[in-house]
Structure 1
Amino acid sequence: MKIGEIANAAGVTTSRIRFYEKRGIIAPAARGPNGYRDYPEDLIVLLRFIEQAQGLGFTLREIASVEVRSGPHPVSCTEAISLLARKRDAVDALIAEAEERKRRIDSLISELQESQARSED
């Protein structure tokens, strides 16, 4: 399949495919006699997986480290569950950190409001 066909089918841009190829996220495409890239149809599933993983907060480095296989699921369910659980734990830690930061901000606002109210009396 040509790059435009793959891009349309996977819902990505052609430049995104070239970027993934340049960074080693996907294998380089074979070139036809005319010099055009010729991509295998199963790349559609992999591109969708990459986009979904990025949407869940995985970095390209994390995605590239995953052992990809062919078929309808580019990653084994066992590995996917493990990766997702670790990402969830990291998100939970970020949420806890943000909540603590918010608590400290709220506390400082309260202190400043009280100080302001005392100085206005």
Structure 2
Amino acid sequence: MKIGDIARAAGVTTSRIRFYEKRGIIAPAVRGPNGYRDYPEELIAILRFIEQAQGLGFSLKEIAGVDVAQGDHPISCDEAIRLLSGKLDSVAALIAEAKERQRRIKALIAELQGRKQSAA
């Protein structure tokens, strides 16, 4: 398939596909005699997987470290559960850190408001 067809089917831009190739996220396409890139149809599922993973907060480095298979399901359910569980733990830690930061900010605001009222 041509790059434009793959891009439309996967919901990505052609430049994104080229970027993924340059970064080694996806295998480079085979070039036909005419010089055009020829992509396998299975790449559509892989590109959708990459987009979904990025939307869930995975970096391209993390995605590149995943063994991706051909077919409708680029990774096994067990592997997906393992990766998602790890990401969920990271998100929970970020939420806890943000809540602590929020608590400290509120405390500082209250302290400053108290000083302001004392000075008045």
- For the aligned residue pairs, the C-alpha RMSD in angstroms reads 0.4
Counterpart for residue 64 of structure 2? 64
Match of 1:82? 82
Q: In the alignment, residue 39 of structure 2 is paired with which amino acid?
A: Y
Runs of 4+ deviating beyond 6 Å = none
Counterparts of 1:41-120 in structure 2, within 5 Å, are 41-120=41-120
Using structure 2 for the length normalisation, give the TM-score. Answer: 0.99
Q: Supply the AA of the counterpart residue of 2:95.
A: I
Q: 3-state DSSP class of the match of 2:66?
A: coil
Structure 2 CA distance for aligned equivalents of residues 104 and 4 of structure 1: 51
Q: Give the match for residue 36 of structure 2.
A: 36
Percent of residue pairs identical: 73
1:33 alignment partner, SS class:
coil
3-state SS of 2:48 partner: helix
Structure 1 stretch displaced more, 62-71 or 11-20 = 62-71
Shift of 1:112: 0.3
**Aligned length, in residue pairs:** 120
Give the whole-Å Cα distance in 1 for the aligned partners of 2:73 and 2:94.
29
**Letter matched to residue 75 of structure 1:** I
Q: TM-score under structure 1 normalisation?
A: 0.98
Cα shift readout 1:59-87 (whole Å, capped 9, x = no counterpart): 00100100111111100100100000000
Code of the aligned partner of 1:79: E
SS at match of 2:91: helix
Q: What is the alpha-carbon distance in structure 2 between the residues aligned to residue 55 and residue 95 of structure 1? A: 17
Structure 1 unmatched runs, 5+ = none
